[in-house]
Structure 1
């Protein structure tokens, strides 16, 4: 019994000695097991926003109306006008010399377009041109050395990437919403559905249209354009869309050059990419023609519904989207050779590309 008591006492003394030896360490760092907040890693996109936000502007679509108090002329001979904001949106400074991109629907039917920069400067903008098919418009303000958002053409946009939408929702002032890329290559979204939208769940509300969609490096990847369900009784959460930067840059270049976008027109419809072994045992790949526009270039060349477009002007056809882009980039009046498969036979048909009809 005495031996057990001595062993217990010895263990207790050893434990006390260890505690006394470590006590200064605990006193010197009372947060040994509870780290200071400053030591915690915080996930933040502040640097990306800091890079991109100065180049995102507020856009106001205004109309001039005769004053309700005096519809005639004032004492100085000038008409008394009231300014009414018809629509609001956002825009992105694309060039330091004052070229700004926004959505066409933001500035539609405007008597006056006003652009407000984030540094407080306000400019009246001129409309360089617009494109109904992509819902893009190019504005110009008289300013120099403006901030722009960097772009990285080598960086691939992938589903799952974190993205930030910057704009002016409901005229509250510049705001940032965060989401991920839900899909790429989205099309068939109604009248403006020919392009390949980036789909995201970042919130896009009234006033965000024309604003910037950026990645977490602060690089511009698209122009925000619409959100399904915002203007209807049907509520659709997390379905927002942006126009990819490659399309944006192409439209910007063409509008600055020609005042409008000149596209080639072929006159067929298809959403189907065909890949199958044909009657000759060949593994044919191409776009299946589902409809032919009456009196269009394809119709006049003899292309029929059900034909499989295999090659277009010596280029292999990889998808309906690729074919659409090739046609769009072909200058109107150009004669191209289109190879189609029909009932197991390969036919080469010359087609004169027309200009895509103006919409609206």
Structure 2
């Protein structure tokens, strides 16, 4: 250890002005890159913030809610909400208020937010960055994905372009923008930590983007934006044990948001396709099988009677590996893709049975 320490000292003391200059030369491109990155962030923020809105919601009294309408203590903690309410409190049966964020994606007043932000709303007020305030109406909600859509009576509003969340990779820069307080917006930067997060217990259909960009109370419904200035997710929840942020936030991919909001605009609700199988995560372990694009699979562990799966002669133990030519990332991924496919449409799936690959076209049903 003494020799190592001595060598380190020699290295340090042998630095010459020329060596120091070479270090500076090597760092210069990095400095320029950081300066340019900061400039890009500033440009994105300046263009995006006018389309991020503050949403205040008046709700029916909590005392009138059924037990099924209340979040469990675990989910209250997960969403960072205060659960210290009491039925004995004389104010418990008064109207309650909540708040959140949203973003304008259509100049005619359509605003995307979380379903839980506007749940049970009796009045919704939207405040823009220019301090204009509007009453909003609910176009539709989809609690199964925690996506909601509201509309204000205005036109020529600032918007944010929607990107393609399928292109996201771990390590990509992102900005989380929210409006947790009236006339006050927050912006945080981070990276994509992971994609395809599921089984978190937040919603029925989960495919979350995980990010370390700080997401705070009131940021639910705000946009997660990529380095191109495009929305690639909607901030939804953060993991907490203390009520504060712990570096783990979750956003709904914008591709899922886009498909759900299209249905909400068209019909005010979401209708899902149905395959009729129970699934679990598995993997393909057939060394001699050719032309396998992915070794992740969804294993069929149950089949509903009179379902499209039964009519197609799918069986327990089949390993589904692709749908419409795209590899799947497990059971939750397949379930999400089927649910966002138009009912009664045909899909082509590849699956493994008895160490053989089978390709089959199946007509989906509608989820009741």
The two structures have a TM-score, normalised by structure 1, of 0.71
User: Offset at 1:248?
Assistant: 1.6
The alignment partner of 2:175 has SS state of strand
Alignment partner of 2:124 out of 110, 113, 123? 113
The alignment partner of 1:261 has SS state of coil
- Show the counterpart of 1:62: 58
Measure the CA separation in 2 of the matches of 1:296 and 1:206: 45
- Show the counterpart of 1:167: 178
User: Offset at 1:324?
Assistant: 3.4
Alignment of 1:237 with 2:246, yes or no, is yes
Distance 1:331 1:168, change over 3 A: closer
Aligned residues: 298
- Show the counterpart of 2:43: 47
C-alpha contact (below 8 Å) 1:198/1:243 kept by paired residues: yes
User: Offset at 1:170?
Assistant: 5.7
- Show the counterpart of 1:102: 113
Pick the structure with more helix per residue: 2
Alignment partner of 1:297 out of 298, 304, 307? 307
Alignment partner of 1:272 out of 266, 269, 281? 281
C-alpha contact (below 8 Å) 1:167/1:212 kept by paired residues: yes
Measure the CA separation in 2 of the matches of 1:97 and 1:113: 17
Distance 1:296 1:244, change over 3 A: farther
What's the C-alpha RMSD, in Å, of the aligned pairs? 3.4
User: Offset at 1:169?
Assistant: 2.9
Moved more, 152-161 or 140-149: 152-161
C-alpha contact (below 8 Å) 1:310/1:317 kept by paired residues: yes
Measure the CA separation in 1 of the matches of 2:165 and 2:321: 29
C-alpha contact (below 8 Å) 2:60/2:120 kept by paired residues: no
Measure the CA separation in 2 of the matches of 1:164 and 1:152: 14
- Show the counterpart of 2:195: 184
Distance 1:237 1:269, change over 3 A: farther
Alignment partner of 2:168 out of 157, 166, 169? 157
- Show the counterpart of 1:35: none
Distance 1:316 1:111, change over 3 A: closer
C-alpha contact (below 8 Å) 2:112/2:148 kept by paired residues: yes
The one-character-per-residue Cα deviations of 1:285-325 (angstroms, maximum 9, x if unpaired) are: 6734253254472564353332223565x746544366335
Distance 1:296 1:86, change over 3 A: farther
Alignment partner of 2:210 out of 196, 199, 209? 199
Distance 1:151 1:295, change over 3 A: same
Distance 1:296 1:316, change over 3 A: farther
User: Offset at 1:282?
Assistant: 2.9
User: Offset at 1:266?
Assistant: 1.4
The alignment partner of 2:44 has SS state of helix
Alignment of 1:309 with 2:316, yes or no, is no
The alignment partner of 1:198 has SS state of strand
**Any stretches of 5+ residues in structure 1 without a counterpart?**
1-38, 66-81
User: Offset at 1:216?
Assistant: 3.6
The one-character-per-residue Cα deviations of 1:206-247 (angstroms, maximum 9, x if unpaired) are: 210001111244322211011122xx5587711101112211
- Show the counterpart of 2:138: 127
The one-character-per-residue Cα deviations of 1:170-216 (angstroms, maximum 9, x if unpaired) are: 66821112222111121221151633211111121221000111124
The alignment partner of 2:264 has SS state of helix
Structure with the greater alpha carbon radius of gyration: 1
User: Offset at 1:326?
Assistant: 4.5
The alignment partner of 2:271 has SS state of coil
Measure the CA separation in 1 of the matches of 2:299 and 2:111: 38
Measure the CA separation in 2 of the matches of 1:191 and 1:155: 21
Distance 1:309 1:156, change over 3 A: closer
- Show the counterpart of 1:92: 103
Measure the CA separation in 2 of the matches of 1:105 and 1:277: 44
C-alpha contact (below 8 Å) 2:103/2:111 kept by paired residues: yes
1:212-251 to structure 2, matched below 5 A, reads 212-229=223-240, 237-251=246-260
User: Offset at 1:341?
Assistant: 3.8
C-alpha contact (below 8 Å) 1:288/1:306 kept by paired residues: no
